[in-house]
Amino acid sequence: MPPLSLGLIWATLTELLKPAARTTTQGATSTLIDVRGFKGPVVFILHTCKASAGTTPTLTPKLVHATAANGSPADLTGVTWLASDGSTAWTVVTDAADPGVLAAIIDPRETDGFVGFVGTIAGANASYTCAVSYAGIKGNLVPASAAL
107 inside domain: yes
* DSSP label of 110: G
Angle (CA) 49-136-36 rounded to 5° is 115
Residue 146 has pLDDT above 60, yes or no: no
Query: How far is residue 122 from each of residues 64, 119, 126, measured CA to CA in Å?
Result: 19, 10, 6
4 inside domain: no
Q: How many domains does the chain fold into?
A: 1
Confidence at residue 5, expressed as pLDDT on a 0 to 100 scale: 47
Find the domain containing 36 and state its range: 16-136
**Sign (positive/negative) of CA torsion 49, 54, 55, 60?**
negative
11 inside domain: no
61 inside domain: yes
Q: Which amino acid would we find at residue 25?
A: T
Confidence at residue 1, expressed as pLDDT on a 0 to 100 scale: 46
129 inside domain: yes
Confidence at residue 93, expressed as pLDDT on a 0 to 100 scale: 86
Q: What's the mean per-residue pLDDT of the chain?
A: 84
Look up the CATH number of the domain holding residue 54. Answer: 2.60.120
**Tens-digit pLDDT profile for residues 82-112:** 987 777 888 888 876 667 789 999 999 999 9
- Range with the lowest mean pLDDT among 11-20, 32-41, 102-111? 11-20
Angle (CA) 68-136-46 rounded to 5° is 85
Measure the CA–CA gap between 121 and 119, rounded to whole angstroms.
6
148 inside domain: no
Burial of 77 (0-12, 13-18, 19+ CB in 10 A): exposed
2 inside domain: no
63 inside domain: yes
Query: How far is residue 101 from each of residues 29, 51, 108, 138, measured CA to CA in Å?
Result: 17, 14, 22, 24
